[in-house]
Structure 1
Amino acid sequence: MKHLFYTICGLAFCFVISGCASTDEADSVQVAEVTRSVFYAPFYAALAEGYFEEENIEVELTTTWGGDKTMTSLLSGGADVALVGSETSIYVAAQEAADPAINFAALTQTDGTFLVAREDLSNFDWNDLNDSTFLGQRKGGMPQMVGEYVLKQKNIDLKNDLTLLQNVDFGNIPSAFASGTGDFVQLFEPQASTFEKEGIGKVIASFGAESGLVPYTSFMAKESMLEKDPDLFVRFSKALYKGQQLIQNQSAEKTAEMIESYFEDTDLDILISSVERYKEQDSYASDPLLTEEAWQTLLDIMEEAGELPDRVPFDDLVDVDIAKKAMNEGG
């Protein structure tokens, strides 16, 4: 009987250990990204270097191609985290959503688009856009609003000085320009550099350099998710922070090699030039903390574009505690 007792206890102990081991399984986090771009290099670097795995997180990444589709995926439960323009959280809040999308980690801090001309304008002046056809981005999205913001600063009347096209789907804009639509187009990297290499167009200006700091692309989750498991999002932000610091402290060549697997159809030299452009204009946020000053700039840009439904307070849609804790623990 004594031996049987010890045997049962041993089996029970093994069962407990086995049960404990099962709780160590990685947390699966489904991330929906609005597009695939070198603009998001710190995130891809964190993935490539295994930083999320170190935080016991398994990331399932899906590209949803457009802010509306990305936010729909988040709100419907198709994704746990959305990587998308911060303006989308304001649109959702304006609809009095019961479970709003909350920005918890910043990824980029400038606009990520470049002005590409069909011809090489070595002595470019913004007035060269007058009487031209400008292939812009989706109405109400951050690229288009920043584009309009910059053009207005350059005293360009969007209704009278040029023809603005906004009827092309986000994912089809590059192919539309390549097919002959527009004299100028607003593009992210690596598409802009690819067009240069192929002789389709020439990068002549940066909207990010012209518009200044703004919380352009952020990671967000539904408020209920953040409240349910805040530690998960702190760990997520810690992994991201490691990637952000890595990008800041290494060469564009090293970063390009690191993220190459996320751009299988893009040559390494294009990735290098793309990373260099973004680093030169300080597009990559060095940490996940969103600032209230940049948030107010975002509201100003949206208001200037006539797309701001309400000046939603910073504290209503931004959770800085998660980023701060991640930085403290990961520093």
Structure 2
Amino acid sequence: MKLRIAENFRAVFYAPFYAIRALGLAAREGLEVEWLVSGAPGSTIGEVKRGGIDAQWGGPMRVLKDHDSSPEDGARLVCFGEVVGRDPFYLVGKRNQPAFGAGFNLQHLGALRLGVVSEVPTPWYCLRADLEEAGVNTAAMRSRGRLVDNLTMAEQLEALAAGKLDVVQLFEPYASQALAAGNAILYAASSRGPTAYTAFITSRDSAAKRRDEFAALERATQVMLDWLAAEGPARLARVTASFFPDVPQELLGPAFERYHRAGLWSRTTTVSEPGFERLAHSLQAGGFIARRAAYAECVCDFQRSA
């Protein structure tokens, strides 16, 4: 059995996917995987839809967007094998800003200069829903110039250090870099609860043709999740360090530890239905999709259906 699988982009919170490869877990299930590097987020989705690539990992938001905007045919996307079940982003800022008073809460952001992620859409749509539910008018923030959405995470860090932004939205290892510079995590998006964040994505046609292969991939993924629960984040950092040559181990270890404590990585490959619905709500509320496709339309479970 063979599969061609592309990564979405290189990211610390994707470490469990690299652990599948590093530990040889797919091969133990009789599966030969060609792991492909992706140059930019979502850049291989077209090949997945055409069948040139069997699957990639990425956000179920791409499946929801595809259902909202593409024809109902065999190229339509589905997802399976959840690995990241919570939001990996943080809001980071100066520890003792006068605006916070007795402590930080999301309502404070309405009066602050906030930088949000520009590289991918999901973090902002999820944060936007959190803010609106907390009573923050994000449209007013934008109109008053308090919402900056055109900076990379590295540029956000520079703007924070220069005093041009009060709070920035980052994932690891940028969050750890910010902490090392004396900043504080003000809000962990993982505290929102289940949010379907990363799973494998394939097309309906490939799902029908590759049921045995994808079932084997799901089994390998479950073995990895069980291994991670037993071995812990320090072991994950050692096993996957070679995938992050530019991230010092003194940053990688604490980053994995924070993610592990937050329950970022799923315990089962079944895509969380509450997490999927929360993601769909955030995307629709922010106007990223017009129609919320049903969970059953978008999600496969190859082990249950075997």
Per the normalisation by structure 2, the TM-score is 0.86
Q: Whole-Å Cα distance in 2 between the matches of residues 301 and 271 of structure 1?
A: 30
Give % identity: 21
The reply on whether 1:264 has 2:245 as its aligned counterpart is yes
What amino acid maps onto 1:156 in structure 2?
A: V
The DSSP-based 3-state class of the residue aligned with 1:324 is: coil
Give the stretch that moved more between structures: 271-280 or 153-162.
153-162
Say how many residue pairs are matched: 291
User: Over aligned residues, Cα RMSD in angstroms?
Assistant: 2.3
Please give the alpha-carbon distance, in whole angstroms, between the structure 2 residues aligned to 1:82 and 1:287.
19
Distance 1:78 1:141 in 2: 25
CA distance in 2, matches of 1:51, 1:109: 21
- Residue 10 of structure 2: which of 22, 33, 36 is its match? 36
Q: Is the 8 A contact 1:85 1:141 kept in 2?
A: no
Deviations, residues 277-320 of structure 1 (Å, cap 9, x unaligned): 11111110111101333322222222222223212121111112
- Give 2:140's aligned residue: 160
Does residue 1:184 correspond to 2:167, yes or no?
yes
Distance (whole Å) between structure 2 residues aligned to residue 191 and residue 155 of structure 1: 28
1:108 is aligned with what amino acid? V
Secondary structure of the equivalent of 2:140?
coil
> Which of 53, 71, 92 does residue 45 from structure 2 map onto?
71
Q: AA paired with 1:206?
A: A
2: distance between equivalents of 1:297 and 1:207?
13
- What runs of 5+ residues in structure 2 fail to find an aligned partner? 98-102
- Unaligned 5+ segments in structure 1 are 1-25, 327-331
**Distance of aligned partners of 1:48 and 1:128 in 2 relative to their CA distance in 1, 3 Å threshold:** same
1:49 — aligned with what? 23
1:297 pairs with 2:251: no
Corresponding letter in the other structure for 2:300: D
Between stretches 52-61 and 268-277, larger displacement belongs to: 52-61
DSSP-derived class of the 1:182 partner: coil
Q: Does the alignment pair 1:121 with 2:90?
A: no
Partner of 1:13: none
More contact order relative to length (CA 8 Å, sep ≥ 6): 2
1:83–1:218 Cα contact (<8 Å) kept? yes
Match runs of 1:178-257 below 5 Å: 178-180=157-159, 182-197=165-180, 199=181, 201-209=183-191, 211-257=192-238
Amino acid across the alignment from 2:185: V
Question: Which structure 1 residue ranges, 4+ long, deviate > 6 Å from structure 2?
Answer: none
> Which residues of 2 match residues 272-287 of structure 1 at below 5 A?
272-287=253-268
Tell me the equivalent position of 2:300. 319
Aligned 8 A contact 1:288 1:323 in 2:
no
Amino acid at match of 1:193: S
- Kindly indicate whether residue 114 of structure 2 is the aligned counterpart of residue 134 of structure 1: yes
* Residue of structure 2 equivalent to 1:146: 126
**2:86 is the alignment partner of 1:107:** no
State the alpha-carbon separation in 2 of the partners of residues 186 and 229 from structure 1: 38
